[in-house]
Structure 1
Amino acid sequence: MVSVRGWLQCDDGQLAQIKEIVEADDPERTYSGGWAFPTRQYNNVSWAFYGGDIRAVSLDWFEERLHQIAQIPASYQDDEYDDRPRGLFLVSHDADGMSEWKVRNGDLVIGLPAGDYHYLDA
């Protein structure tokens, strides 16, 4: 099993696109039920959260969803500020340990945790 938990920050238009990506999955065949969206978003930032334990063979499914989300374009063209969706996910694999998945700059970057998050593996 793999424990996945994390968040994305975006704007309202991007959140609508994230929800479309999530809702396109068949809820009977995937772990899409791990997504949560606050019913009341406030200020100028919207949030999406994911938390769940999934089978290791389904991790490719989650990775593909994050790649799709990372490709959502910026709402405003501003050379100084990149407002594409961005976020952080901690992925803890029973055998392989923990990795850190960063959604930023239109891509998904997977690597070793930059912080001490191992207390979450307990």
Structure 2
Amino acid sequence: MGMYVSVRGWLELGFAQKPDADRIVADDDPYSGGWAWPVKPFNWTLYLFYGGDVREGALHEIRAKVERLAALPPLDEDGDRPRGVFVVTDERGRARCRHVREGAVLDVPAPDFGGLAS
């Protein structure tokens, strides 16, 4: 049957990166419905959120999308790229974090989330 894991997180993007991000997350896979933009974005940063309970075997597909989003080219001469964080917790109470920065997805130790990981 397989274990379920909870995935939630966000990416900070520039408004000009939205069309490319939409193409990346638009797949018809069973878990693509977890991606969402704010209904009424404001100010200068656009956030793309993900939240969903997925089969453990599908984590590689979600991570592949996050890696493609992380690799979007910088918008300006400052070199700012998408950045964010994703938290993955499983039914065994384990928690993992994925930081997105500088065009890559980095596995980092998860802080103590208390009851979030159970």
TM-score (norm 1): 0.87
Q: Is the 2:36–2:50 Cα contact (8 Å) retained in structure 1?
A: yes
Residue 57 of structure 2: aligned partner: 57
Read off the aligned partner of 1:117 and give its amino acid letter. F
Q: CA RMSD in A?
A: 1.4
Q: Is the 2:93–2:117 Cα contact (8 Å) retained in structure 1?
A: no
Residue 117 of structure 1: aligned partner: 113
Aligned equivalents of 1:20, 1:72: Cα separation in 2 = 12
Q: Is the 1:10–1:83 Cα contact (8 Å) retained in structure 2?
A: no
Question: For structure 1, which runs of at least 5 residues remain unmatched after alignment?
Answer: none
Q: Is the 2:13–2:83 Cα contact (8 Å) retained in structure 1?
A: yes
How far does the alpha carbon of each residue in 1:3-62 deviate from its partner, in whole angstroms, 9 at most, with x for none? 001111111012221111011x11xx3200011111211101101111100000101100
- Count of aligned positions: 115
Q: How does 1:43-54 map to 2 (within 5 A)?
A: 43-54=43-54
Structure 1 vs Structure 2: percent identity of aligned residues?
Answer: 37
Is the partner of 1:7 in helix, strand or coil?
strand
Question: For structure 2, which runs of at least 5 residues remain unmatched after alignment?
Answer: none
TM-score (norm 2): 0.90
Read off the aligned partner of 1:13 and give its amino acid letter. A
Residue 22 of structure 2: aligned partner: 19
Read off the aligned partner of 2:115 and give its amino acid letter. Y
Residue 37 of structure 1: aligned partner: 37
Q: Is the 2:7–2:50 Cα contact (8 Å) retained in structure 1?
A: yes
